[in-house]
């Protein structure tokens, strides 16, 4: 009887350990590079900055071509940007094409968070061959090129260079107006 009770306790302890490890694995099952993270198999750039004056931030966002459609004082805090070009050397063909993003600004009491997602290349036409015939494909998003099928970042040198170039470009826009929050 004592041995049976011990075996039941051992089974319960083993199940608890397995459940704990599987829960932990689900929490850790995300990937990030710089300010880019993979959230629900989507590539998202996010960074928070100190906020000194919301009026000054609104004026800056209006004056910057990348964020000109945002009007945080009028509660227009997310938008799709116009087409822009990434300025960097040795980029793959898709990254040399113009891109457009969905950008959102969340304003809190003493800081604001910038979220950029859905980076697409609307004018890039990829040529590929199928059964010896040339095909054109308008593949569009950065996720198509950067993420593997399992939702993790494909860490080739070209992909890392593209992510770093976007990271530098996005940071340069917002570092002009505010200091990044320390993490």
pLDDT digits (tens, 9 = 90+) for 58-113: 999 999 999 999 888 888 788 888 889 888 888 998 888 899 999 999 999 899 99
Do 85 and 10 belong together in one domain?
no
Same domain, 152 and 103: yes
Find the mean pLDDT for residues 1-16: 64
Alpha-carbon distance 14 to 16, whole Å? 5
Name the band, by pLDDT with cuts 50, 70 and 90, for residue 149.
confident
C-alpha distance from residue 113 to each of 56, 127, 154 (Å): 16, 38, 26
Does 147 lie in the same domain as 88? yes
Domain count, the chain: 2
Residues 18 and 36 in one domain: no
Chain segment 10-60, per-residue pLDDT in tens = 666 666 655 655 444 444 457 889 999 999 889 999 999 999 999 999 999
Angle at 167 between CA 162 and CA 171, to 5 degrees: 155
Q: What is the predicted pLDDT for the residue at 110?
A: 92
Task: Mark whether 54 and 106 lie in a shared domain.
Answer: yes
Q: Do 8 and 50 fall within a single domain?
A: no
Q: What is the pLDDT of residues 115-132, one digit of tens each?
A: 999 999 988 877 666 666
60 and 26 both lie in a single domain: no
Domain extent for 3: 1-30
Same domain, 70 and 20: no
């Amino acid at each position: 009887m004592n041995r049976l009770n011990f075996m039941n306790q051992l089974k319960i302890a083993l199940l608890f350990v397995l459940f704990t490890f599987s829960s932990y694995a689900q929490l850790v099952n995300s990937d990030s590079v710089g300010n880019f993270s993979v959230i629900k198999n989507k590539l998202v750039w996010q960074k928070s900055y100190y906020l000194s004056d919301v009026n000054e931030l609104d004026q800056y966002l209006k004056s910057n071509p990348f964020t000109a459609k945002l009007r945080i004082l009028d509660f227009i805090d997310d938008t799709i940007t116009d087409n822009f070009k990434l300025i960097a050397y040795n980029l793959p063909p898709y990254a040399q094409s113009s891109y457009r993003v969905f950008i959102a600004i969340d304003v809190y009491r003493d800081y604001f968070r910038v979220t950029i997602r859905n980076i697409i290349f609307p004018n890039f036409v990829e040529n590929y061959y199928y059964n010896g015939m040339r095909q054109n494909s308008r593949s569009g998003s950065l996720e198509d090129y950067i993420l593997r099928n399992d939702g993790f970042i494909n860490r080739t040198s070209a992909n890392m260079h593209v992510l770093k170039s976007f990271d530098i470009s996005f940071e340069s826009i917002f570092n002009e107006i505010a200091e990044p929050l320390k993490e």
